[in-house]
Amino acid sequence: MYTDGGPDHRSTFWSVQLACILIFISLDLDMLVTARTAPMASYANPAERIMSLLNLALQNVALERPDMIEDYERKMKRNGSMTKVRNIGEKEPDFKTALLQSTKHVISKLDDRFSRLKWKDRNVNMHESANIDDIEDIGHLLSILDHLDEGLSIEKLKTKKDIEKFKCLKNFIDLHTRERQYTYQIKKCGNCAYCTINPPRLSQELFDNLHWLPDPVPVQKDSDEYKSFDDVYGEETDDSGRPSLVSKNVPTSADLGHKGGFVAARARSFIICRECGKRRVVYSGKRLTIDQMRLIERVQEEFIFTCGAPLFPDGVMKETVYVREGQSCNSEMETTYYSDVSGLNTPVCFFCGDTEVITNQEIQNLKQEYGIVRPICDTCFQGGKRPAVRNALKTNKKKR
């Protein structure tokens, strides 16, 4: 399964992984490989080529839905993002029904237009989206894994941390899945309880030669040439060679255009990278207007932003509201995040952006010695990193 990087199929999301596990079980697959294209690289995904055809059907068509009652339309206007609209629907079932009714017309219009297209001599088919009943049915399949009677159910698996509560699921995931930045794979192991009840459907010989999809492995360290698939298939690999991890922080021409623009006084807000989850500072010469903040919120909601990309690739705000583009997901936090003129920024780990920062005796001691001690999370601290520091207090005193 090869998708672009949109949030509904972003394979690092727990909801997407859980859906993949359920597909794996419901279809009794031997192996499921999901991969997504790197940001801004959807054009390399063959499935996306259908877009040029679909665009033909969207020529000269007005996709306007009929109005709902005034109160509902006002709510739609006030809540610009999909999540907010969904939340209203949760609270007010009548609103949800009205909105579904109102969009029905648009959907059937699209169905009609698309189904008149042909792709390589075959008709284009628009499938109905899964309804609540379908989703619940497939969710019940999880109970297959619950051989320890732990009460495993989809409602109890809101976040990835919830896996820890269910040994049966944890065990299944450890034995059968492999997670990377751009791939998520599930494969029968061939010798656990699940695989005994659902043995591989491939012949033993084929199954024995079925390996994980390997990660890209550079020919040499720091080289941008990669080993061929055949050379690495069946080898143990990791994704440490992926370009977004090794790219350097070089200012782009846009960065150079914002000369003097990346200072604390201009740090107005932040946006979270959809890849690494780090908060990247949004700069502007003037304080942000409500409309500007709404637009940033929208970019955030739609998961468009990644480190290294412009905040607004075009439009009126391109020059006035911006982020530093010469950085990658591997770059540390910007120090301007911590200056925080707006007073809104919670402390996050300087290295990874995690919001759960720690303090301990060693960090306390550093605070005695330095004017600035950047926050750090437990994982980075345990991994051997030490807080970034500035302005040594003792040496300053000595100089005086």
Residue pair 365/387 in contact (Cβ under 8 Å)? The answer is: no
Residue 295 or 323: which CB sits closer to Zn ion?
A: 323
Residue 258 or 278: which CB sits closer to Zn ion?
A: 278
Site string for Zn ion, 158-197 (x = CB under 5 A): -------------------------------x--x-xx--
Number of residues that bind Zn ion (CB under 5 A): 15
Reference 103, options 78, 71, 72, 135; nearest CA is: 72
For 270, what's the count of Cα atoms within 13 Å in the CB-facing half-sphere?
27
Residue 320 or 379: which CB sits closer to Zn ion?
A: 379
CA–CA distances in Å: residue 210 to residues 11, 30, 216, 378 = 21, 9, 18, 38
Q: Shortest approach of Zn ion to residue 99 CB, angstroms?
A: 34
Residue pair 311/305 in contact (Cβ under 8 Å)? The answer is: yes
**Chain Cα centroid distance, residue 245:** 16
**Chain Cα centroid distance, residue 313:** 20
Q: Shortest approach of Zn ion to residue 192 CB, angstroms?
A: 3
Q: Shortest approach of Zn ion to residue 261 CB, angstroms?
A: 20
With CB under 5 A as the contact rule, the residue among 255, 275, 325, 334 that binds Zn ion is 275
CA–CA distances in Å: residue 358 to residues 129, 371, 376 = 44, 18, 6
With CB under 5 A as the contact rule, the residue among 276, 288, 321, 323 that binds Zn ion is 276
Helices 93-114 & 82-91 angle (0-180, nearest 10): 130
117: helix, strand or coil:
coil
Q: Shortest approach of Zn ion to residue 195 CB, angstroms?
A: 3
Residue 145 or 329: which CB sits closer to Zn ion?
A: 329
In the region spanning residues 325 to 344, those forming contacts with Zn ion, defined by CB under 5 A, are: 329
The DSSP bridge partners found for residue 271 are 280
**Does the protein bind Zn ion through residue 351 (CB under 5 A)?**
yes
Region near Zn ion per CB under 5 A, out of 64-72, 137-145, 265-273, 317-325: 265-273
Residue pair 39/45 in contact (Cβ under 8 Å)? The answer is: no
Residue pair 155/95 in contact (Cβ under 8 Å)? The answer is: no
Residue 258 or 374: which CB sits closer to Zn ion?
A: 374
Strand 122-123 and strand 118-119: pairing?
antiparallel
**Does the protein bind Zn ion through residue 270 (CB under 5 A)?**
no
Residue 37 CB neighbours (<10 A):
17
Region near Zn ion per CB under 5 A, out of 14-22, 66-74, 97-105, 379-387: 379-387
Site string for Zn ion, 286-315 (x = CB under 5 A): ---------------------x--------
Chain residues that interact with Zn ion, rule: CB under 5 A: 189, 192, 194-195, 273, 275-276, 307, 329, 349, 351-352, 354, 377, 380
